[in-house]
Amino acid sequence: MASVNKVILLGHLGRDPETKNFDNGGSVCSFSLATTESYWDKEKSQRVELPTEWHNVRITRAGLIKIAQQYLHKGSQVYIEGSLRTRQYQSKEGDTKYFTEVVVNDLVLTGGRGTGEAQPSSTAVEQQAPVPATVGDDDLPF
């Protein structure tokens, strides 16, 4: 039976990304991401905000780490796609603790450059094909 482990999040960084470099040349970047949902309450005629969810995010791909280091900071809005991973470690008391995080496969910068305006992502730009200046019935293949 097939299974899928995919996470899609759009949120704001809770802290600046932290990068750790290893002796073998590898590196990892991590930060926390806040997401908030809301809904419209018809009885109260107002928007109701649900509590903020905090996600631990980890980037292991070198290219994405460079982007995160250069462009992300506390408060930045970012769209990420990835998968859930759970790691375990031993606490100082000897207890086994579990830690769940989102390992990033794709990252899109969605916030502006300090102006609050959203910048188009690279995928959105690619999908906007130019419209020909003259489109008539003769141009249609059917």
CATH number at residue 42: 2.40.50.140
Task: Give the confidence band of 137 by pLDDT, cuts at 50, 70, 90.
Answer: very low
Helix (H, G, I), strand (E, B) or coil at 118: coil
CA 71 to chain centroid, in Å, comes to 13
Distance CA 60, CA 97 (A): 22
In the prediction, which pLDDT does 111 show? 73
Residue 110 has pLDDT above 80, yes or no: yes
Domain-embedded: residue 112: yes
Domain-embedded: residue 2: no
Number of Cβ within a 10 Å radius of residue 13: 20
Beta bridge partners of 104: 82
Range of the structural domain that residue 94 is part of = 7-139
Residue of 62, 101, 107 lying closest to 80 (CA atoms): 107
Domain-embedded: residue 114: yes
Distance CA 47, CA 41 (A): 6
Task: Give the confidence band of 132 by pLDDT, cuts at 50, 70, 90.
Answer: very low
Tell me 131's DSSP state. P
The total number of structural domains in the chain stands at 1
Distance CA 71, CA 93 (A): 39
Domain-embedded: residue 57: yes
Domain-embedded: residue 34: yes
